[in-house]
Amino acid sequence: MEQKASEIQKQRIKEIESAADRLVGKCKIMFVSSVNENGYPRTCCVSKLKDAGFRDLVFVTSKRSEKQGKAKHFEANSKASICFQDGGDSLTLVGEVNFITDRAEMQNLWNESDKTFFPKGIDDPKIRFVHFHTLEATFWINHKFRTVKYK
């Protein structure tokens, strides 16, 4: 029995999404872009703390300045972009962030190696745990290109 075009497309999306989940699982570092106080993108390399595939990611940043920096940018504008790259494969995500404030979740995410930056641990007033939720993904994986929008 021949598959319908819509079924073929769904299968292709599922395959590339699975490959994207594997790509994210391999990458420890990600490129995170925020919108700065002048409306320009600002990109930094950050360590990924946790992921649930490419749709939900968690990282830590610092609110060291009242005028600039990722935390300040995200307080003013929750829009963000995250990119991953490994070999010839890449993934560009567009979405929104929110700050994690639940102490139990923060404790679970805490990494002792961050004590260099945040000596007081999760009680450090400058630490910000950030959750990113994907609204759009652009995949370039195994020489296949596709953009998919999510809710």
Total count of domains within the chain = 1
Residue 45 lies in domain: 5-149
CATH number reported for the structural domain that contains residue 21 in this entry: 2.30.110.10
The full 3-state SS of the chain, as one line of letters, equals CCCCHHHHHHHHHHHHHHHHHHHHHHCCEEEEEEECCCCCEEEEEEEEEEEECECEEEEEEECCCCCCCHHHHHHHCCEEEEEEEECCEEEEEEEEEEEECCHHHHHHHCCHHHHHCCCCHHHCCCEEEEEEEEEEEEEEECCEEEEEECC
Of 136, 134, 139, nearest to 13 by C-alpha is 139
pTM: 0.92
Tens digit of each residue's pLDDT (9 = 90 or more) over 49-76 = 999 999 999 999 998 766 668 999 999 9
Tens digit of each residue's pLDDT (9 = 90 or more) over 64-107 = 766 668 999 999 999 999 999 999 999 999 999 999 999 999 99
pLDDT, residue 131, reads 98
Which token pair is 88? 């010839």
Separation between Cα atoms, residue 81 and residue 73, nearest integer Å: 13
